[in-house]
Structure 1
């Protein structure tokens, strides 16, 4: 909320829990930043991170960062099958 003048902003900041329409309100001021969250103690079971190579891809698609062997090792020559010049149908 943006206040029209400085006095209105100062009045709003004086009471962090004003009573509005008979109910207690909570005023969080953005300029103060978020409160640090406390670390929960006790035994917790977390989700184990999986290496991206072990994640299953839908429909057998390969990830985009896999390059042909010749690009990674240019000194290695991999023979490719000879394609016939006949109709592709």
Structure 2
């Protein structure tokens, strides 16, 4: 019960914080858009862009696979942006 209470408090505190954004000092808007597009392209290329399931397939398996693909795509995009010198910062 104590652990659950701590988890709830942590979630509530994190919900109060503003969103995180990628930041790179000295960057301009055009370069930022280009970097984001290139990293998104690489993430989609690495994970595939077509839906994973068909209408007759098991929906829970399809949903789980799509969630996993989305998480992996986010990890790849994050790694790409970090490699280009971006870091996550609290949005002001």
- TM-score for both structures, normalised by structure 2: 0.19
Higher helix share: 2
Higher strand share: 2
Which structure has the larger Rg? 1
- TM-score for both structures, normalised by structure 1: 0.20
- Which one scores higher on RCO, CA 8 angstroms, separation ≥ 6? 2
